[in-house]
Structure 1
Amino acid sequence: MTPQIEVFTRNLELTDRLRDYVTKKVSKLNKLINDVEDTRVDLSYVKSARSASDRQVAQITIRGKGFILRSEERADDLFAAIDEAVDKMQRQISRFKGKRQRGRGDGTPASEVAREPVAEETPTDIEEMPIIARRKTFSLVPMDEMEAIEQMKLLGHEDFFVFYNANTNAINVLYTRRDGTYGLIEPKLG
């Protein structure tokens, strides 16, 4: 069974023709990679873009067991943006599959390697709590630092990437420094 392709729009109407076009193009991507859990396509019209050729935006996100791949493209025509995003995603899938075949760590799931969870502290005064605008959960797959850099690039994350380091058996944060190099934060319990 192929995973459902979810199509979301912002500032434009989703016509049957557009939905069929997206489904036809994106369903080909799901055949290129195994273990796809869900595929999301976001289409939008950004009227505040400086250039008219950047106003139609197509973003494709494929989530699967142990990976998230994302591509975004802009064009003056929405169908062209979709085609370019699909082409970019095909390149990312082949690049990801090449990295995956070389292997990562010893294959032990993070859930088996992780130590006992730390009990969460609950604040006593609810009124003083800062507002959390967004909460995100994701699965961590053991990987080394070089693969974390590759995943960071594949996802299009510019600033940081959180990953489970297979070499140190700890959660690390990879970040981009101002000079273009990378930094690695290795937290330790105090």
Structure 2
Amino acid sequence: MKLKHIGKNYNVNENLKEVAEKKLGRLDKYFKEDVEAKVTYSQEKNLRKVEVTIFLSGTVLRAEESTDDMYTSIDRVVDALVSQVRKYKTKLQKRYQSGETIRFENIPEIEEKEDEDAPKIVKVKSFGIKPMSVEEAILQMELVGHNFYVFLDAETDLVKVVYKRKDGNYGLLEPAF
């Protein structure tokens, strides 16, 4: 796996990179060599946050963990990614039947059981979608008190989603073809 290290409000030293590469090396058995991953290190007050995004063709695996120690955050984010790979093995197998990016033989089988606590769709809501600008969509989102809003972009005729980020700013999701 090819890692790209990025520091946001945090100085990433060589020792930290080496430790991260060693720990994330646990994931190498699940992916082919050409898979790319982005490791972002940041510090917010007393928390050290590690965010890892693994880019597979058509899918993105992402995990983030925050603790008071950067090395502990790395350990936890690796555990979270291993858990994701194991949990979604069958879904990933259906998508990547050729096995071009994922080595499924290295992912242990997990007995799938009927889990009553598993998330399920409990409500379906239909709504009209009208053309508007991004600024108008943000205003509508604030007016309804939600943290996201789906709208039809008046300029591009594409369905987009505007959302409120944890830092108080806004994000925009738009389809890529």
CA distance in 2, matches of 1:74, 1:88: 12
Alignment of 1:60-139 (within 5 A): 60-101=52-93, 103=94
Unaligned 5+ segments in structure 2 are 99-132, 136-146, 151-157, 162-177
**How many residue pairs get matched?**
108
- 1:24 counterpart letter in structure 2: K
Secondary structure of the corresponding residue to residue 35 of structure 2: strand
CA separation of 1:69 and 1:14: change in aligned 2, threshold 3 A: same
Question: Where does structure 1 differ by over 6 angstroms across 4 or more consecutive aligned residues?
Answer: 171-174
1:13-52 equivalent positions in 2, closer than 5 A: 13-34=11-32, 37-47=35-45, 52=46
Counterpart AA for 1:8 = I
SS of equivalent to 2:12? coil
1:69 positional shift: 0.3
Structure 1 residues 13 and 65, CA, compared in 2 at 3 Å: closer, same or farther? same
Counterparts of 1:11 and 1:81, CA distance in 2: 16
Q: Kindly indicate whether the alpha-carbon contact (under 8 Å) linking 1:36 and 1:65 is maintained by their aligned counterparts in 2.
A: no
For residues 143-182 of structure 1, give each alpha carbon's deviation from its aligned partner in whole angstroms, at most 9, with x where no partner exists: xxxxxxxxxxxxxxx9599xxxxxxxxx9989xxxxxxxx
Distance change (3 Å), C-alpha of 1:67 and 1:160:
farther
* Matched AA of 2:67: A
- Say if 2:2 and 2:33, in contact at 8 Å, map to a contact too: no
Gaps of 5+ in 1: 108-128, 132-157, 162-170, 175-190
* Structural mapping, 1:132-151, within 5 Å: none
TM-score (norm 1): 0.48
Paired amino acid for 1:13? N
Alpha-carbon shift at residue 94 of structure 1 (Å): 1.3
Q: In structure 1, how many angstroms separate the alpha carbons of the residues matched to 2:30 and 2:11?
A: 29
For residue 4 of structure 1, what is the aligned residue in structure 2?
A: 2
CA RMSD of aligned residues (A): 3.5
- Would you say the 8 A contact 1:35–1:65 is kept in 2? no
Three-state SS of the structure 1 residue aligned to 2:15 is helix
In 2 relative to 1, CA 160–13 (structure 1 residues): closer, same or farther, beyond 3 Å? same
How far apart are residue 16 of structure 1 and its match? 1.3
**Aligned partners of 2:4 and 2:43: how far apart in 1?**
18
Q: For residues 35 and 95 of structure 1, what CA distance do their matches in structure 2 show?
A: 22
- Paired residue type of 2:39: V
Find the aligned partners of 1:31 and 1:71 in 2 and give their Cα distance: 18
Displacement of 1:65 in angstroms is 1.8
TM-superposed CA distance for 1:100, in Å, is: 2.4
What is the deviation of 1:130?
A: 8.1
